[in-house]
Chain A
Amino acid sequence: MKVALVQCPVWGTREPPLGLVQLSGCLKAFGIETKSFDLNNYLFRHRSESFDNLWAWEQSQFWYDRDSVEKFFVSVSATIDVFVDGVLGFSPNIIGFTVTASTFASSVLIAGHLKQKNPDCLIVFGGQGFMDSRAVSRAFAEASIDYVVPADGDSVFPELVGIIERKGDVRECLGLYFRNAGSVAYSGDPVSRTSLDSLAYMDFTDLRVQDYEDGRHLLMMASRGCVWHCAFCSSRAFGDKYRFMSGERIHQEIVYHKTTVSSDVRHIDFADLAFNGNMDRVRTFCDLMVRYPPVPQESMSWLANAIIHPELTLETLSRMAAAGCVRLIFGIESGSPALLKRMRKNYDPAIAVRVIKDARTAGIHTTCNFMFGFPGETESDFEQTLDFLRAIASSVDRVYPSRTYCAMEEFSSFYAHPEEFGIKTPITHHLYWESVDGTNTYPVRLKRCQRFELLCRELGVQVDSGVQTAVHRDEWFNLGHYYEYRREYGRALEYFYKYAAEDPCNAIVARKIQEISAAGKAGV
């Protein structure tokens, strides 16, 4: 039984897609012949100049629209054909697609092509996109799709392959949607792994680190889920519990990749939502990295997202630095204890100030993320955020003020319970939502972000993304879109023109001006 794994656009191109390399490792550990194909990276590397920025983060929306994707695929049909033939050339019995919201449309289209060329291949969709159960029905509306796995595929997928191979009953495979007498049935929830220690290593045989943009670092996800449940957060994992690899296991995997994948790898990015969700594993990991460096006589650096934790003492941070930690990224979000509580963000800002200072002493760079206008944020709460910034100014290396200020993401708890947070319903836009009392609007949030950035400049704190010099441009760009959304086209044009005066080459803004003017909307 042969399994092909496919990654469709749009996804990251800096390093191999984690979901795919993980699944490939798991399938191979079960003795299943597997080959991975990354259409996303293939198209990215073969893109023409006119499609240069399709992979930019802010262009993700393009890929959510099936018509746009279809048109794009038609325009690169020769490349698509080569790819499809490449997959079928492996003669797979089963083709698995790793699907998120941003890859759904493209996956459906490619699955259709494959099925058309080889109707015998079974198509399985899985991945984080199916945390949204509506995506399951959307998938089964496509005749080409046979199974959907809305769960961690580490054990479920090999089990499904095994059952198909021995022509067993797929209902025995928990965690599976399948077609049943004209409708769709679910086999039941799988038992999710409580520890990730027995997880097979990622497999980079087909998707080589060096074939991706960065080429010299390894991306690892050594835990799933988070220990906290912040109200604004949508980054959940299947199973919702925090599950992690022990320090021993993380070290073991790094050593493994050093000896197998590429000896060029000198750095690891941990994609964990909270690398230090369990402090014991961090200490063990660091001790092992110091005692048994993966590259003797050479350093191996790493960075991670972390939560503010009282056990991040100077001593622990120094151990982490000695183990190669060069940067920690903290989601600070606010300096107000009351607002943090409302956010269900479980830390004390005073401890955060201490941790950031100690990190600097230990030699670890820090990035702190902030958001503006979380429901209930008062002017006084915001002032406390500014005070917090002043307190960390001399020790923090970078701050990242959220460019969406406070986005209402689907699957977050404040999106699910807007009334609890005083948010006006129905929520018609994830960026432009308002509070019931009308005091918290998009422009209000934007203004706070600007004040925050101005203070950063005053204090000499580096702001991430190079927007430091263009706070006002950012304002015009965003407000132009905001007023366009509100159909206040005159005001929208005003902001777009202001922007264009300073950055006349910006294609997005030029197009907006043209669209609004051509439709004669501005006069409405």
Chain B
Amino acid sequence: MPVFAGTNCVELNNRLNEQEYAARAICLRSSPRAVFLQMDGPCNHDCLFCSRPVAYRYFNLDDYRRRFAAKIDPIIAAAERLNLTGSGELLLLPQARENLTYFNQFVHTEKMFATNGSSLTPKMIDFIAASGNRYVIHVSLHAANEILHARMAGAHTYKAVLSNLEYVRKIKATISTLRVNYIFVATTENIKDLPAFVHFAAEHGADAVVAYYNYVYRLDQKALSCYFAQDLTNDMIDQALAVAKDCNLTIHLPPKFHQASYPRETICGEVWSNLMINTEGDIITCDVAGDSRESINGKSFDEVWNGEYYSRLRSLLKTGNHACSSACFRANPSVVNDFRSHFITRGKTPEEIAEFLAGS
């Protein structure tokens, strides 16, 4: 059991975790700073780039409590951030408020989740605001106009989303515990809209714009990758930066293509700081991780966190990032020019990977 688990210890755990990362320790006394809990729910959108499988199991709180709470709850309590990830809209789950109420007990842990905005209704915002917990909400908009939004989302919810965001802005003005970032998953379909999107976000009181390159999951979505529109993408990134500067808005952008120089490669810290768990108890270190995985079933938390899987990755990472992914631009921005950094290899056969790479 990590040393700080179970107490109001976020600060202490953070510090220790940083030290252990700095020392590239293999066996950690700190627990993860970020816990990613997969909270899949139903979805009312059908985004162009969506990775959702045909059938997937929704999060069920009773199930979580029965199977994982005893092991994971103390870890969440010591974590800086609980990231509720997964497919679909967690706010559309039948027990959405009960689910959030459960995790609100960890008052020192910041909660973060993504939504397409249509389920971020005034009722939900009031509820989140009233909880007193710190929340970072990522609103996946991807477009700043109705037609493009419908194209990206496969749904006609733009007006509903906008009216929800209007309410969010009103509530945000009255509390300090809520941050809202507008998300732009950049694809060849919407990249031209990025500067307008930044402007739109500033006008609507977003705290930041976060733009990512679309990770390609399926072959038929390959053409959506900005990798195939590099000059245009670079141009839009420049323009978006300029707009953000003008509007004094924080913006997070992915690295541009074919630059003369890139920031130096760092050793990825996710294996020291992250734990991602799904409803089956499977564990991975981060969303672009390779095929190997761990499971908490039949093990204690410590047997996972300091067990074979994490220890092996931590030792390998000492020698460079290829340990978990040779093409991850989070740790090495220059690999943006390698198409392998734009798609998810997890679960794919070498033949499938070759198919993805063909022509790029």
Contacts and interface: CB of A to CB of B under 8 A. Distances in A.
8 contacts: A28-B55, A199-B94, A200-B94, A249-B95, A255-B119, A259-B160, A260-B92, A288-B123
Contacts of B58: 28-31, 200
Interface string A240-259: 00000000110111011001
B98 interface: yes
A256 B42 contact: yes
Interface of A: 28-34, 197-201, 248-249, 251-253, 255-256, 259-260, 263, 288, 291-292, 296
A291 B123 CA distance: 8
Interface in B237-285: none
Contacts, number: 60
Contacts of A201: 42, 94
Contacts of A253: 94
Interface string B94-105: 111110000000
A30 B63 CA distance: 11
A198 B65 CA distance: 14
Given A256-B92, A291-B123, A292-B121, A248 B97 contact: yes
Given A199-B94, A259-B157, A288-B123, A31 B42 contact: no
B220 interface: no
A378 B299 CA distance: 72
Contact of B92 (A30, A31, A33, A259): A259
Nearest to A258: B160
Interface in B58-117: 58, 60-62, 92, 94-98
A199 B62 CA distance: 12
Contact of A260 (B42, B54, B62, B123): B42
A29 B57 contact: yes
A12 B57 CA distance: 30
A292 B122 contact: yes
A417 B262 CA distance: 86
Contacts of B123: 251, 255, 288, 291-292
B310 to A, nearest CB: 27
Nearest to B160: A259
Interface string B293-315: 00000000000000000000000
Main secondary structure of the interface of B (DSSP, over half): loop
A5 to B, nearest CB: 14
A336 to B, nearest CB: 43
Nearest to A33: B55
A201 B156 CA distance: 21
A158 to B, nearest CB: 9
Contact of A259 (B54, B61, B98, B118): B118
A205 to B, nearest CB: 10
Contact of A296 (B56, B57, B92, B163): B163
Nearest to B43: A260
A122 to B, nearest CB: 18
Contacts of A256: 42, 92, 94
Contacts of A292: 121-123
Contacts of B131: none
A198 B61 CA distance: 9
Nearest to A296: B163
A259 B119 contact: yes
Contacts of B98: 197
A249 B93 CA distance: 10
Given A33-B54, A256-B94, 8 more contacts: A30-B57, A31-B57, A33-B55, A197-B94, A198-B62, A252-B94, A260-B44, A292-B123
Contacts of A200: 58, 94
A30 B279 CA distance: 11
Given A259-B160, A292-B122, A197 B95 contact: yes
Most buried by B among A198, A200, A248, A252: A252
Contacts of A255: 119, 121, 123
Contacts of A28: 42, 55, 58
A252 B62 CA distance: 19
Nearest to A261: B44
Nearest to A2: B55
